[in-house]
């Protein structure tokens, strides 16, 4: 998408010398076809019915966005290692925005209405929910305190192997 980041500045980053913004996608001649095969999954991001498969991002629910792909991806990777080591898997609590997004989308996918929606930190239904539940904040210290209270500080930095 066209971003507010200036193209000339973006092109100074190594590897992005020829970057372009393409918006509308495919010059308005194509469509973005997605969500054709969403995997049923647990809130630990394990694919239901397959013992050694984890998923994240758009594949793991009706999530939209890079942040959603990254946060679910961290959890999926972390739990894949835990699972392989026979350790209990991590579930992110619902008093963290990520934990609530993961669990909420899983509940919603059970209903026809819920399957028609998409879930993102960036807007629509889930953004309103975050505000209602007091999960939305731009205060990094508050977020750190929240994570700390749950004893989850730097949880993904834990060396498991």
Ligand X SMILES: Cc1cc2nc3c(=O)[nH]c(=O)nc-3n(C[C@H](O)[C@H](O)[C@H](O)COP(=O)(O)OP(=O)(O)OC[C@H]3O[C@@H](n4cnc5c(N)ncnc54)[C@H](O)[C@@H]3O)c2cc1C
**Interaction with ligand X in 48-67: which residues (CB under 6 A)?**
57-59, 64-67
CB of 70 to ligand X, least distance (A): 9
**Least distance to ligand X from the beta carbon of 144, Å?**
23
Cα separation, 132 vs 136, in Å, equals 8
Determine, following the binding rule CB under 6 A, whether residue 69 of this chain makes contact with ligand X: yes
**19 lies in the site for ligand X, by CB under 6 A:** no
Q: Which of 2, 31, 32, 37 binds ligand X (CB under 6 A)?
A: 32
Site size for ligand X (CB under 6 A): 11
Distance of CA 67 to the CA centre of its chain: 5
* Binds ligand X (CB under 6 A): choice among 16, 19, 21, 25: 25
Q: Which two tokens stand for residue 84?
A: 């392989």
Of the CA atoms within 13 Å of residue 53, those in its CB half-sphere come to: 9
- 32 C-beta neighbours (distance < 10 Å), count: 7
Q: Which is nearer to ligand X, 28 or 86 (CB)?
A: 28
Q: Is 37 in the site for ligand X (CB under 6 A)?
A: no
- Least gap, CB of 19 to ligand X (angstroms): 14
- Residue 1 binding ligand X, by CB under 6 A: yes
To ligand X, the closest distance from the beta carbon of 64 in angstroms equals 5
Distance CA 53, CA 47 (A): 6
According to DSSP, residue 139 is labeled -
Output the furthest CA–CA distance in the chain (Å, rounded). 50
The C-alpha atoms of residue 66 and residue 72 are separated, in whole angstroms, by 10
**Shortest Cβ 132–ligand X spacing (Å):** 22
How far apart CA 81 and CA 75 sit, in angstroms, is: 10
| 77 binds ligand X, rule: CB under 6 A | no
Catalog residues that contact ligand X under the rule CB under 6 A: 1, 25, 32, 57-59, 64-67, 69
């Amino acid at each position: 998408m066209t971003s507010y980041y200036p193209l000339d500045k973006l092109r100074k980053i190594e590897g992005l010398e020829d970057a372009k913004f393409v918006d509308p996608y495919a010059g308005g001649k194509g469509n973005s076809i997605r969500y054709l095969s969403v995997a049923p999954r647990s809130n630990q991001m394990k694919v239901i019915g397959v013992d050694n498969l984890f998923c994240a991002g758009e594949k793991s629910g009706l999530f939209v966005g890079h942040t959603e792909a990254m946060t679910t991806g961290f959890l999926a990777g972390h739990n894949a290692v835990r699972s392989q080591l026979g350790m209990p898997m991590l579930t992110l609590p619902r008093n963290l925005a990520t934990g609530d997004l993961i669990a909420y989308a899983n509940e919603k996918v059970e209903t026809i209405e819920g399957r028609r929606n998409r879930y993102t930190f960036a807007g629509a239904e889930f953004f309103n929910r975050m505000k209602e539940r007091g999960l939305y904040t731009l205060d990094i210290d508050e977020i750190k305190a929240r994570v700390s209270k749950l004893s989850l500080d730097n949880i993904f930095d834990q060396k498991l192997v």
